[in-house]
Amino acid sequence: MQTDKLIESLAQQLTPVRPLRAPLLRALLWLGVVAAVGAALIAYRTGLHILLPRIAQPRVAVQCAATALTAITAIVAAFELSVPGRDARWAWAPVPPFLVWLAASGLGCLQNGLSLHQPGGMAGESPGCFGFITAVSVPLALGLFWMLRRARPIAPLPVATLGTLGVAATAAFVLEFFHPFDVTVIDLAFHMAAVALVVIIGISIRRVLLAVD
């Protein structure tokens, strides 16, 4: 087909469309809904009595803030990069908070003398953290990708990577409210393995998640 004929045919098929809202607004909408549901869940199941005594330590406070920031920046970046013409540097936005999250958690392991289990923690709890992060990530990812696929991203890889990193970091942040003891080496390994697993699965099935042809 000649390009002229294609243009003619596309113009004939044209139907009105409603432009997508700005990516930042859509990201804030998703984060707002998740924050509201998460707050209700925490209030109903545990309250703040688990987190508050731990967060009094500056290192734990930094760790929690960095986890939340990783989630927020990754989600905003995924929405930004789901539409064409946005600054590709958005892909790097979650890197600094993620490194701070790793560093603060790693420092905690060092302070705890690299012991495998905290005095307050029971043996065998780390797999539970792994299960929590992966299980909570699933509904979060379904909601997120339902919104992201509306943009029909032309570059699905960065969108899927950032989106899944965002949901896994959100799940890890929620976990802090249910985590009665400080992070240990084995705990940190399980947390990061869960985040990596969620991201790898998301990347593997990105075409399905984002409805790419």
Partner 1 sequence: MPTDDIPQARDRVWAELMRAAQAGDRAAYDRLLREVTPMIRSLLRRHCSNPADIEEMVQDTLLTVHRIRHTYDPTRAFCPWLASIAWRRSIDALRRRMRVARLETSESVDYETFPDPAANSDMESVHSSEEVGELLRLLPPRQRQALEALKLRQMTLAEASAASGQSVTALKVNTHRALKALRALVAGRER
208 binds partner 1 per the rule CB under 8 A: no
Task: At 105, list the tokens.
Answer: 């958690």
Residue from 1, 56, 110, 123 in contact with partner 1 (CB under 8 A): 1
Burial 136-148 (b: 16+ CB within 10 A, else e): bbeebbeebbebb
Closer to partner 1 by CB, 15 or 120: give it: 15
123 binds partner 1 per the rule CB under 8 A: no
Burial 165-191 (b: 16+ CB within 10 A, else e): bbbbbbbbbbbbbebebbbbbbbbebb
Stretch that binds partner 1, among 92-100, 116-124, 148-156, 171-179 (CB under 8 A): 148-156
DSSP label of 102:
H
* CB of 140 vs partner 1, minimal distance in Å: 23
Question: Of 48-77, which residues contact partner 1 (CB under 8 A)?
Answer: none
Closer to partner 1 by CB, 151 or 194: give it: 151
Largest CA distance in the chain: 74
Angle between helices 58-81 and 156-175 (to 10 degrees): 150
- Cα gap 63→103, rounded to integer Å: 8
- Cα gap 195→167, rounded to integer Å: 9
Stretch that binds partner 1, among 36-44, 140-148, 150-158, 186-194 (CB under 8 A): 150-158
Residue from 41, 155, 172, 177 in contact with partner 1 (CB under 8 A): 155
- Cα gap 74→140, rounded to integer Å: 13
Residue from 44, 49, 58, 85 in contact with partner 1 (CB under 8 A): 85
Distance of CA 157 to the CA centre of its chain: 15
Closer to partner 1 by CB, 42 or 155: give it: 155
Closer to partner 1 by CB, 97 or 158: give it: 158
Q: Provide the binding-site residues for partner 1, judged by CB under 8 A.
A: 1, 3-4, 6-20, 22, 82-86, 151-152, 154-155, 213
